[in-house]
Chains A and B, each alone.
Chain A
Amino acid sequence: MLMKTTNTKKKLEEMGKGMVAQLKKGDGPTFETTLRTRSNTFYDESAGCLRTGDKKEVRKFLSVAQARTFMQTVAIAAKTKQFLAEDLHTSIRGLFYQLKFTLGEDIDEDLFTEQSESNALIEDLEVALKVKREDLHLTTDRKGFVAGPMKIRDKFGGEETTIDLAKQGRSGWSIPSDVDNGMDITSLDADYVLVVEKDALWQRLNEDKFWKKENCLLVTPKGQSTRGTRRLLRKLADNKLPVYCLMDCDAWGWYIYWTIKTGSMNLAYLGRNFAVPEAKFIGVTMSDIKEFPFLDKLTIKAKDVDVKRAEEMMGYPWINRHKDWVKELKLVIKTKKKLEQDALQGQRLTFVGEYIKRKIDNKEWLS
């Protein structure tokens, strides 16, 4: 479903060919892109994720307002086509520097002057071609980590290596920005995927050999998930692995979870490729206090932003359709308290593992 390098290259060429064809007909060159606004984003109930609507925008060269950005977008297309052809990757900053040059001796103007200009146009190009920037050989910073019974074949820099994720010691495997191109899962023996919000908790569980005992993949996005982490989770879910998430019980934790589950506005045009609707929220929740009374003393006063966020979430159709969530959110609004996942270590460091096992075994989760 997602484009591989060859397909992306073809799409770039077709975009250019379409413009040349328009020129030959005597028309001004244009390209079409999907409108990326809140009003053109909707929750697709059957797919369980955010998607973009049908509203399109036409970018024109023959427009005083658009001529420069049009020319810049085509410049990015031509440059990334070159990256694909050379099989080289760079960051969006690297691309900016590749394209930061003067338009000519007689024109007192640079192709790009600010990176913010090129960043916005990269997104435009991604949406127009329905590819993600990694397909254009543009990399982003890595953040997430994995450990567990999985092997990956990585074709990179002209070499091929097989990486055993069960042999990454204390650091784990750092999830790259592109897990689609030049990368295959060669073996996967895990029973499920556990995503914990914080790296600290990941290290705790890794030390406990939790993933070995439980035969699971232990993932941390280290806060908000990168595109690479979300793509990896999607691929794992595609391999029929359940995905359980352990987050803070606060605005930020919920946000991280829902981005994994339903995708984000920014990448809504790629729909289910960046969403894991199967994901479950195993904790922590305010209801945990009833089951584990020691947590009662470890709550923190909820900030205004947490309460406000909870109220907002109850308004989202993809959240308020889950009664369990509505109940939890109401509890937060009522008690004005929040709970961090680190609190689970309050009694005993090894309690975290027990907590997770119990939640999964008893299917005590939120949708």
Chain B
Amino acid sequence: MAEDMFKQFREHSVAEFFKKNRQMLGFSGKVRSLTMIVHEFTTNSLDACEEAGILPELYVKIEELDGKKDHYRMTIKDNGPGIPKSHIGKALGQMLAGTKFHRYIQQRGQQGIGAAACTMFSYVTTGQSTKAVTSYSGKSITADISIDFKRNKPLITVLDESPAEQTGLTVTSEFKDVRYERGNYGVYEYLRRTALANPHCMITLVEPNNEKTVFPRSVERNPQKPFEIQPHPLGISAHDLLEFAKHNKENKRISSFLQNTFSRVSAGKVSELREMAPELNFDKRPDRLTWDEAEILVKAFSKVKWISPSTDSLVPIGKEQIEASFSNIFNPELLVVAERKPKVYRGGIPFMVEVGIAYGGGVTAAQKKGEVMRFANKVPLLFDTGGCAITETIKDMDWKRYNIRNFDEEPIVVLINLVSVHVPYTSAGKQAISHEEDVMMEIKNALMEASRGIQRYISGKKKEHEIATKRKVVGRYIKQLALDLSRLTGEDEAAVEKRLKKLIEERYSRGEGDADENN
């Protein structure tokens, strides 16, 4: 019986799994899928450019293929460092391969799924391989890449090799089951927001109708490079711990492994951990660590008093950059950016929140009302709005306190960027921030700080409007009053009128406040 049942049993590769469950990577819905593809390549390009110290230039072209419904060709070209021939296959054709997995550094991508997932998506929907042109070290290599799903291995065919002067990567793929639309979830909006949060890059988009849009660069230098830090014991799960232990090569004992892998773990702290977990053998080889032992260690971590991790590895967009971007895109009447110090969530993971609020002016002209732009590590989050901690925090704000009567009806754009070495996404689709208490609290504080700036401005504006109204209301009676005072006293009517006018100009002027009080 059992033998019969297990005839059907197969081993599945990661690639096969994702082939069947592509929605888990965010490839669900036709418009969203296309945006997700652009997203994967864009984040890779920006990360690579910044790491190589190149000012990013990105070119995205989407063509509708003749007559065929929901069938597109996408070309994405960057001026990054390119990918060496030896790695191009893995980079674009193997899931969970990449430079990012388990590096504690603020980066846009985290798991190393993206690019290969696009190759997979293209192959699954069109049967076509992906064409890549990579230029580095003075040469340019053109290759065809597809995936051996069974083995999660790339299949690569080099078509051409030629000398090249500039570096960069160009990827061309065909996709079906996707659709191009301008709208809140489309490629256009994604790139517009990317440009907003990344003022150092220049992005060109050519849409299927051949319309070309250039999002220009407004800051002429790359942001400071984030650097890699060791993970802090707090914020590590038993699973993480086992992963680190498995990849560990240098350390022969758990005690030295802990000291060399995690930040703030000194010999003294290891002694404390020994006391907390007397049942655990700290001299054991790390790669022999069991799940139960990992759980004991994580529990012990939580009992020891730790120094917070260093937070200087985080690189926000920056106040000036947000201001430059907002001015560039909206030219708003008022612009407030809240600059906050880095904080730590789960006790061990550094993060930072930036909030920019643009109000009135160009925002009004663009008919934007109550728009929320979410970003994580400067990457726009367009989807899964409902389940996101940012959205919820904004919804819970008492906007009336800040003179915003109805958030959804006011000419206001709110930018929120969450920066962290490990952004707490709700899922692998990376479109929503999970409800981490520390993170939500900090988002709230940052929002409130920025909103206070708005409040001051709006109340000042209201007051100014009130004063102008008063000036008008009282001013309209000047002529008649002057005439009657002249009739009563024999004084010159014009002289009295002049005095009354002067008085009202003075008393009901900007900043004078309420003239009623100080007759």
In the complex, per-residue mask of B245-279: 1 if CB is within 8 Å of any chain A CB, else 0 = 00000000000000000000000000000000000
Kindly identify which residue among B489, B500, B503 contacts A16, using a CB–CB cutoff of 8 Å: B489
Contacting pair B474 A67 (CB below 8 A) = yes
B476 contacts the other chain (CB 8 A): yes
Bound-complex Cα distance A107 to B476 (A):
7
- Which residue on chain B has the smallest CB distance to residue A66? B516
In the complex, per-residue mask of B488-517: 1 if CB is within 8 Å of any chain A CB, else 0 = 110100001001100110110000000110
Contacting pair A23 B500 (CB below 8 A) = yes
Bound-complex Cα distance A107 to B469 (A):
15
A26 contacts the other chain (CB 8 A): yes
In the complex, per-residue mask of B205-231: 1 if CB is within 8 Å of any chain A CB, else 0 = 000000000000000000000000000
Contacting pair B516 A109 (CB below 8 A) = no
Instruction: Tell me which residues across on chain B come within 8 A of A28, comparing CB atoms.
Output: 503, 507, 515, 519
Distance in Å from the Cβ of A26 to the closest Cβ of chain B? 7
B470 contacts the other chain (CB 8 A): yes
Distance in Å from the Cβ of B68 to the closest Cβ of chain A? 65
Most A CB contacts (10 A, CB to CB) among B477, B491, B506, B507 go to: B477
Instruction: Tell me which residues across on chain B come within 8 A of A30, comparing CB atoms.
Output: 519
A121 contacts the other chain (CB 8 A): no
Kindly identify which residue among B470, B473, B476, B519 contacts A60, using a CB–CB cutoff of 8 Å: B519
Contacting pair A20 B487 (CB below 8 A) = no
Bound-complex Cα distance A192 to B499 (A):
58
Contacting pair A74 B481 (CB below 8 A) = yes
With A23-B499, A62-B515 in contact, do A16 and B488 touch (Cβ < 8 Å)?
A: yes
Most A CB contacts (10 A, CB to CB) among B470, B506, B516 go to: B516
B21 contacts the other chain (CB 8 A): no
Bound-complex Cα distance A300 to B451 (A):
75
Bound-complex Cα distance A29 to B491 (A):
15
B439-485 interface (Cβ within 8 A of A): 469-470, 473-474, 476-477, 479-481, 483-485
Distance in Å from the Cβ of B166 to the closest Cβ of chain A? 68
Distance in Å from the Cβ of B315 to the closest Cβ of chain A? 53
Contacting pair B519 A12 (CB below 8 A) = no
A319 contacts the other chain (CB 8 A): no
Bound-complex Cα distance A30 to B479 (A):
17
Bound-complex Cα distance A63 to B470 (A):
8
A1 contacts the other chain (CB 8 A): no
Contacting pair B488 A78 (CB below 8 A) = yes
Bound-complex Cα distance A48 to B519 (A):
39
Instruction: Tell me which residues across on chain B come within 8 A of A62, comparing CB atoms.
Output: 474, 503-504, 507, 515-516, 519
Contacting pair A78 B516 (CB below 8 A) = no
Contacting pair A67 B480 (CB below 8 A) = no
With A74-B484, A82-B487 in contact, do A64 and B516 touch (Cβ < 8 Å)?
A: yes
Contacting pair B485 A74 (CB below 8 A) = yes
With A62-B503, A71-B477 in contact, do A81 and B487 touch (Cβ < 8 Å)?
A: yes
Instruction: Tell me which residues across on chain A come within 8 A of B507, comparing CB atoms.
Output: 28, 62
Kindly identify which residue among B469, B487, B499, B506 contacts A78, using a CB–CB cutoff of 8 Å: B487
Bound-complex Cα distance A82 to B484 (A):
11
Contacting pair B484 A78 (CB below 8 A) = yes
In the complex, per-residue mask of A341-367: 1 if CB is within 8 Å of any chain B CB, else 0 = 000000000000000000000000000
A333 contacts the other chain (CB 8 A): no
A238 contacts the other chain (CB 8 A): no
A293 contacts the other chain (CB 8 A): no
Bound-complex Cα distance A29 to B476 (A):
15
Contacting pair B484 A67 (CB below 8 A) = no
Distance in Å from the Cβ of A317 to the closest Cβ of chain B? 38
Bound-complex Cα distance A67 to B481 (A):
10
Bound-complex Cα distance A23 to B506 (A):
13
Instruction: Tell me which residues across on chain A come within 8 A of B469, comparing CB atoms.
Output: 64
Bound-complex Cα distance A67 to B504 (A):
12
Contacting pair B484 A77 (CB below 8 A) = yes
With A15-B488, A26-B503 in contact, do A111 and B473 touch (Cβ < 8 Å)?
A: no
Contacting pair B489 A20 (CB below 8 A) = yes
Instruction: Tell me which residues across on chain B come within 8 A of A58, comparing CB atoms.
Output: 519
Instruction: Tell me which residues across on chain B come within 8 A of A107, comparing CB atoms.
Output: 476
With A75-B480, A103-B479, A109-B476 in contact, do A20 and B519 touch (Cβ < 8 Å)?
A: no
A35-81 interface (Cβ within 8 A of B): 58, 60-65, 67-68, 70-71, 74-75, 77-78, 81
Bound-complex Cα distance A107 to B503 (A):
20
Distance in Å from the Cβ of A168 to the closest Cβ of chain B? 41
B12-26 interface (Cβ within 8 A of A): none
- Which residue on chain A has the smallest CB distance to residue B507? A62
Bound-complex Cα distance A77 to B481 (A):
11
Distance in Å from the Cβ of B474 to the closest Cβ of chain A? 4
Distance in Å from the Cβ of B472 to the closest Cβ of chain A? 10
Bound-complex Cα distance A238 to B483 (A):
42
Distance in Å from the Cβ of A330 to the closest Cβ of chain B? 52
Bound-complex Cα distance A62 to B516 (A):
6
Instruction: Tell me which residues across on chain B come within 8 A of A70, comparing CB atoms.
Output: 477, 481
Contacting pair A103 B503 (CB below 8 A) = no
- Which residue on chain B has the smallest CB distance to residue A108? B476
A308 contacts the other chain (CB 8 A): no
Distance in Å from the Cβ of A121 to the closest Cβ of chain B? 13
Distance in Å from the Cβ of B514 to the closest Cβ of chain A? 9
Bound-complex Cα distance A34 to B476 (A):
28
Distance in Å from the Cβ of B518 to the closest Cβ of chain A? 9
A17 contacts the other chain (CB 8 A): yes
A13 contacts the other chain (CB 8 A): yes
Instruction: Tell me which residues across on chain B come within 8 A of A12, comparing CB atoms.
Output: 488
Distance in Å from the Cβ of A65 to the closest Cβ of chain B? 8
Bound-complex Cα distance A71 to B500 (A):
12
Contacting pair A24 B499 (CB below 8 A) = yes
Bound-complex Cα distance A13 to B479 (A):
19
The contact sample of 27 A-B pairs, CB cut-off 8 A, is A12-B488, A13-B488, A13-B489, A16-B484, A16-B488, A16-B489, A20-B485, A27-B503, A27-B519, A28-B503, A28-B507, A28-B515, A29-B485, A29-B500, A61-B481, A62-B474, A62-B507, A62-B515, A63-B474, A63-B516, A64-B473, A64-B516, A74-B484, A78-B487, A81-B488, A82-B487, A104-B480
Apart from A20-B496, A26-B503, what are 5 other A-B pairs with CB-CB below 8 Å?
A: A24-B499, A62-B507, A62-B516, A67-B477, A78-B485
| Interchain residue pairs A-B with the least CB separation, the first 4 | A16-B488, A78-B484, A71-B477, A78-B487
